[in-house]
């Protein structure tokens, strides 16, 4: 369960970052390729959707470790591996960004998210029933 909690904390911080982008904060060099200081409307929508995706990922993770029971077990097992793949892809996508601030910030964040997702996907972070 500590891995799901750590994932939640990182995703919550990313959600705050994305919310700041949605609200027009001039930190666009850290996201979406770093081409805009303040994001245009279409990328602000993308940031809003990202917040929803983070919430879904968090729910899948907590379901996978057994803290909540929202999805059938086979779904959360497969979905957590998909989440792991998503963050591995994020490592690559952020690594090729033209924006140095994005590369230097988001690659390490994605590495942490991928590592946490991997541990959760393998089942190492599951709650064990009391005997």
Where along the chain do its domains lie? 2-122
Separation of alpha carbons 131 and 121, rounded Å: 24
Q: Which two tokens stand for residue 92?
A: 């690559």
Look at 124 and 20; give whichever has higher pLDDT: 20
Give residue 123's pLDDT band: very low, low, confident or very high (50, 70, 90): confident
Tokens 């990313």 map to which residue?
14
Q: Tell me, what's the pLDDT at 127?
A: 60
Q: Is the pLDDT of residue 3 over 90?
A: yes
Mean pLDDT of 26-39: 94
Separation of alpha carbons 8 and 113, rounded Å: 10
Give residue 128's pLDDT band: very low, low, confident or very high (50, 70, 90): low
The candidate with the shortest Cα–Cα distance to 2, out of 111, 126, 86, is 126
Mean pLDDT of 49-76: 95
Give residue 130's pLDDT band: very low, low, confident or very high (50, 70, 90): very low
Q: Is 69 exposed, middle or buried (0-12, 13-18, 19+ CB in 10 A)?
A: exposed
SS3 124: coil
Q: Tell me, what's the pLDDT at 131?
A: 43
């Amino acid at each position: 369960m500590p891995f799901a909690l750590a994932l939640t904390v990182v995703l919550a911080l990313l959600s705050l970052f994305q919310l700041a982008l949605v609200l027009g904060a001039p930190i666009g060099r850290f996201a979406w390729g770093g081409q805009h200081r303040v994001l245009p409307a279409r990328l602000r929508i993308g940031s809003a959707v990202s917040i929803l995706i983070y919430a879904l990922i968090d729910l899948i993770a907590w379901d996978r470790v057994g803290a909540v029971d929202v999805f059938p077990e086979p779904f959360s097992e497969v979905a957590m591996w998909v989440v792991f793949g998503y963050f591995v892809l994020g490592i690559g996508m952020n690594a090729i960004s033209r924006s140095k601030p994005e590369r230097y910030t988001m690659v390490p964040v994605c590495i942490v998210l991928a590592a946490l997702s991997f541990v959760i996907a393998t089942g190492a972070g599951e709650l064990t029933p009391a005997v």
